[in-house]
Amino acid sequence: MEAPTKTQPLVTVRVFNRQFGADPRGARLARRVGLHKLHTWGVPYLSDASESAALIIGELTANAATHGRVPGRNFELRLSHLPGDPETPGLVRIEVSDTRGECRPPGPGEITTPEDSSDSGRGLLIVDALADRWAVLDRRPGKTVRTELDLLY
């Protein structure tokens, strides 16, 4: 058996992790800081990936500040970036965690469309439409909503 002759390219996985106040101001700040971090990692502002990430971060952090709020506790935004190349797509992973475990959102395939007169219930529909993959994960305490966006070059 021979060893493969093709060498693996060096890959740097970038990770950003920060807690924000569980209120509307914290959700807005998380979105702005997250987009800035992605831009510094090579996902330019106003690109398709950046626009999708902005909507996903905005929806998930607003949900964490509204539905996952526990007094005295923050929510957490975690971004991971795995750069790609012309042969392999890159990846952006967006994770938003809060400490309220009993208020678990529906996962992929479980979302129902709200009635036309409803003022809420559309955020996860946006996440479902934009993310290439997503899931709701248990965490102690609370839950994490993880999404992934493929970066095509």
CB contact at 8 A, 124 and 55: no
Across 78-82, average pLDDT: 96
- Token readout for 15 is 């990770």
Please choose, from the candidates 146, 71, 73, the residue with its C-alpha nearest in 3D space to the C-alpha of residue 107. 146
pTM over 0.75: yes
Q: Which residue has the higher pLDDT, 152 or 32?
A: 32
User: How does pLDDT run across 29-53, given as a tens digit for each residue?
Assistant: 999 999 999 999 999 999 999 999 9
| Phi, psi angle pair for 10, to nearest 5° | -70, 135
Q: Let me know the angle formed at the C-alpha of 103 by 98 and 109, rounded to the nearest 5 degrees.
A: 100
Cα gap 91→13, rounded to integer Å: 10
Q: How confident is the model at residue 70 (pLDDT cuts 50, 70, 90)?
A: confident
CB contact at 8 A, 104 and 98: no
